[in-house]
Amino acid sequence: MSARFPLELRQIFVRRRGKTVIGPLDLALGAHGITIILGPNGSGKTTLLRVMHGIERINGGAVQWAQDDPAQHAFVFQSPVVLRRTVAQNLAYPLTLVNAPNERVTTAVQDWLARIGLSNKAELSATRLSGGERQKLAIARALIRKPDVLFLDEPCANLDGHATREIETILREAAAAGTRLVMATHDMGQARRLAQDLVFMLNGKIHETGTAASIFDTPKTSELAAFLKGDIVV
Q: Which residue among 123, 162, 177, 234 contacts other proteins (CB under 8 A)? A: 123
Nearer to other proteins, 76 or 198 (CB): 76
169-180: b (≥16 Cβ within 10 Å) or e: ebbeebbeeebb
Q: Residue 84, interface with other proteins (CB under 8 A)?
A: yes
- State the DSSP code for 123: T
Q: Where are the alpha helices (DSSP H) in the chain?
A: 45-53, 87-97, 102-115, 131-143, 161-176, 188-194, 212-217, 222-229
C-beta of 30: minimal distance to other proteins in Å?
A: 22
3-class secondary structure, 212:
helix
CB 48 within 8 A of CB 37: yes
Instruction: Please work out the total of residues on this chain that contact other proteins, with binding judged by CB under 8 A.
Output: 20
C-beta of 227: minimal distance to other proteins in Å?
A: 28
Binding mask 17-56 for other proteins (x = CB under 8 A): ------------------------------------x-x-
Cα 86 to its chain centre, rounded Å, is: 24
- Give contact residues for other proteins (rule: CB under 8 A): 53, 55, 70-71, 74-75, 77, 81, 83-86, 93-94, 97, 123-125, 127-128
